[in-house]
């Protein structure tokens, strides 16, 4: 049998499109028939449990994590498949929030290996997806929450018929693969919509929503829209959590009729608490709630108490995650223009007027000028440190610095924003800590790979008892 490291080496020995800069996104490259044949040979493990299937540009990981944690709180043995991982491959597949063990990875990959040799063309992601399906079947899960890897229509996960499909917020990302317009991107994401299967969608821009409505109608899939069928409203936020209300439009309509008829109405919407910060996470929470209600309609009982507990106790790192205070260190996986705008908004909501030191690194296929334009817009960034994660698609830090100098405006702190290059992420964090005061905010973003390295570096610094000595603050 393979060891864990040998199993990982074997998986990554196949074509890994997640590590390539360019490739053709077509049915020739992503042959779902190949995945179907592979799963047939494995005994159709993906058909042994009901599934919640999620696609989207932003928020699908957070929505999936909320749903999985609520299902676990409801007493279901819950599988959860997500990608990419932050620190370790085993994060990608978990049962009841416990990561797959290294031994299980090695055992299942070893068992799959003879079949793999009979099916040429399989990719790293297809093998990883099959591994997750096999693991969930072996663990006898009651339900699985499956997140799309890329797109939807041609994704390796799109070979199942779920109980409910979910499409989270759509925006511009992977345009070289999915299309240059929101309508084209929506068409790819809507590929997960199955005939007759309810689909929950986040609030979308009109051109994206039109495509979702058209495809759902063609496939006779009931379309449940957050913002139309389910309504929500933020109530309060702090550095620890957010509280929001959610209710159905149908319920609101019935109450309005009663009020119009003069009947006294003693009604309160469902109030939920999440540890995820930022206005966009309230929307994600409403989408997760709507998805759980759709699952309930499909015969999967989920109590309100379970949803409240599942949302409240969620741990989902790398999303506006506050790693430390004095100075604040925020790690956020924002990696397209829309998510950068949401991050900038969250920084203004939580840290108004504070000076920001930005650690930024991005993949080479991203809209870096657009992301930087959003991050620089509030004009409270005092210094930018460009860095480069250890990943094949990471853009050169010097190139990022040139783009930053072209994009930036003057800092409100008296001079132009200083842009520095510190290629190693760990060293970039140390420099940021040296340059910061206890009242500053250090923000690491641009890529989940950068976030992962910042989290690891921060953990090592804490273990070493590191304390920043702000000797260069006067030079800001």
Q: What is the pLDDT of residues 423-453, one digit of tens each?
A: 999 999 999 999 999 999 999 999 999 999 9
Report the pLDDT value the prediction gives residue 365, as an integer from 0 to 100: 83
**Could you tell me the CA-to-CA distances from 226 to 18, 204, 311, 424 in Å, in that order?**
31, 9, 18, 42
In a domain, 263, yes or no: no
Whether residue 48 sits in one domain with residue 147: yes
Query: Is 244 a domain residue?
Result: no
Q: For residue 455, what are its two tokens?
A: 């989290």
Q: Are residues 56 and 134 in the same domain?
A: yes
Instruction: Assess contact for 316 and 385: CB atoms under 8 A.
Output: no
Identify whether residues 11 and 64 lie together within a single domain.
Answer: yes
CA 373-377-383 angle, 5° bins = 85
- Residues 26 and 82 occupy one common structural domain: yes
Would the CA dihedral through 453, 456, 458, 460 be positive or negative?
negative
Q: Is residue 250 part of a domain?
A: no
Residue 438 burial (C-beta neighbours within 10 Å; 0-12, 13-18, 19+):
exposed
Are residue 285 and residue 358 in the same domain, yes or no?
Answer: no
Q: In sequence order, what are the residues at sequence separation of 6 or more whose Cβ sits closer than 8 angstroms to the Cβ of residue 235?
A: 243, 244, 245, 271
- Give the residue ranges of DSSP H helices in 298-351: 304-312, 337-350
| Domain finish residue from 285, 312, 339 | 312
Buried b / exposed e over 7-17, threshold 16 CB at 10 Å, is bbebbeeebeb
Residue 257 counted as domain residue: no
- CA dist 388 and 420 (Å) reads 12
Which residue, 292, 312, 332, sits at the end of a domain?
312
Burial-class residue 19 by CB neighbours within 10 Å (0-12, 13-18, 19+).
exposed
Query: Domain check: are 336 and 302 in the same one?
Result: no
Indicate if 97 and 131 belong to the same structural domain: yes
pTM score of the predicted model:
0.91
Give dist(CA 68, CA 87) in Å, integer. 20
CB contact at 8 A, 224 and 201: yes
Name residue 243's beta-bridge partners: 236, 273
Q: What is the CATH number of the domain that holds 419?
A: 3.90.190.20
419 phi/psi in degrees, rounded to 5: -115, 120
Q: What is the DSSP letter of 438?
A: T
pLDDT value, residue 476? 36
Would you tell me how many other CB atoms lie within 10 Å of the CB of residue 405?
15
pLDDT at 462: 80
From 260, 293, 312, give the residue that closes a domain: 312
Number of domains in the chain: 2
Residues lower than pLDDT 50 in the chain: 20-21, 23-24, 414, 469-476
CATH number for the domain harbouring residue 38: 3.40.1190.10
Q: Is residue 411 part of a domain?
A: yes
- CB atoms under 10 Å from CB of 128, counted, come to 24
Nearest to residue 369, comparing CAs of 412, 347, 401, 392? 401
Q: Which two tokens stand for residue 358?
A: 């930005």
In this structure, are 273 and 326 located in the same domain? no
Residue 157 lies in a domain: yes
Query: Is 443 a domain residue?
Result: yes
DSSP SS3 for 166 = strand
In whole angstroms, what separates CA 350 from the centre of its chain? 21
Pair 358, 455 in one domain: yes
CA angle 304, 194, 286 (to 5 degrees): 30
**pLDDT recorded at residue 463:** 73
pLDDT number for residue 215: 97
- Residue 122 domain-assigned (yes or no): yes
Where are the alpha helices (H) located in 234-332, listed in sequence order? Answer: 249-260, 279-297, 304-312
**Does one domain contain both 282 and 389?**
no
The pLDDT value recorded for residue 408 is 64
Answer yes or no: do 50 and 196 share one domain: yes
Please say whether the beta carbons of 86 and 451 come within 8 A.
Answer: yes
Say what the pLDDT of residue 473 is. 37
Same domain? For 287 and 213 the reply is yes
Residue 369's domain comprises 321-475
The pLDDT of residue 467: 54
């Amino acid at each position: 049998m393979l060891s864990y490291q040998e199993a990982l080496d074997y998986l990554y020995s196949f074509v890994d499109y997640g590590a390539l800069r360019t490739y053709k996104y077509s049915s020739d490259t992503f042959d779902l028939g190949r995945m179907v044949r592979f799963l047939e040979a494995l005994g159709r493990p993906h058909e042994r449990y009901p599934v919640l299937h999620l696609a989207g540009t932003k928020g699908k990981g957070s929505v999936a994590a909320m749903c999985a944690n609520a299902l676990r709180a409801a007493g279901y043995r819950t599988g959860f498949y997500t990608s990419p991982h932050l620190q370790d491959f085993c994060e990608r597949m978990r049962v009841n929030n416990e990561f797959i063990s290294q031994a299980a990875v090695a055992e299942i990959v070893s068992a799959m290996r003879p079949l793999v040799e009979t099916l040429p063309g399989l990719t790293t992601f297809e093998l990883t997806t099959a591994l997750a399906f096999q693991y969930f079947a072996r663990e006898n899960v009651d339900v699985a929450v499956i997140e799309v890897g890329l797109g939807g229509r041609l994704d390796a996960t799109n070979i199942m018929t779920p109980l409910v499909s979910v499409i989270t917020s759509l925006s511009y990302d992977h345009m070289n693969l999915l299309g240059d317009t929101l309508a084209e991107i929506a068409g790819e994401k809507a590929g997960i919509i199955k005939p007759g299967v309810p689909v929950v969608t986040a609030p979308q821009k009109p051109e994206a929503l039109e495509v979702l409505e058209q495809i759902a109608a063609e496939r006779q899939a009931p379309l449940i829209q957050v913002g139309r069928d389910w309504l929500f409203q933020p109530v309060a936020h702090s550095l620890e959590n957010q509280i929001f209300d959610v209710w159905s439009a149908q319920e609101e309509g019935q109450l309005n009729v009663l009020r119009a008829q003069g009947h006294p109405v003693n009604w309160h919407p469902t109030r939920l608490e999440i540890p995820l910060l930022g206005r966009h996470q309230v929307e994600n929470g409403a989408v997760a709630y709507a998805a759980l209600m759709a699952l309930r309609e499909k015969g999967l009982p989920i109590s309100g108490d379970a949803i409240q507990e599942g949302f409240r106790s969620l741990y989902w790192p790398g999303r506006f995650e506050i790693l430390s205070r004095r100075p604040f260190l925020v790690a956020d996986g924002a990696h397209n223009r829309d998510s950068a705008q949401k991050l900038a908004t969250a920084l203004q909501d939580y840290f108004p007027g504070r000076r920001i030191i930005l650690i930024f690194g991005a993949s080479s296929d991203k809209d870096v000028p657009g992301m930087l334009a959003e991050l620089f817009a509030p004009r409270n960034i005092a210094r930018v440190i460009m860095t480069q994660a250890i990943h094949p698609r990471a853009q050169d830090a010097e190139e990022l610095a040139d783009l930053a100098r072209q994009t930036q405006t003057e800092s409100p702190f008296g001079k132009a924003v200083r842009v520095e290059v510190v290629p190693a992420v760990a060293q970039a964090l140390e420099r940021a800590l040296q340059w910061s005061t206890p009242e500053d905010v250090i923000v690491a973003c641009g890529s989940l790979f950068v976030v992962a390295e910042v989290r690891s570096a921060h953990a090592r610094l804490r273990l070493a008892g590191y304390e920043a000595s702000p000797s260069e603050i006067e030079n800001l």
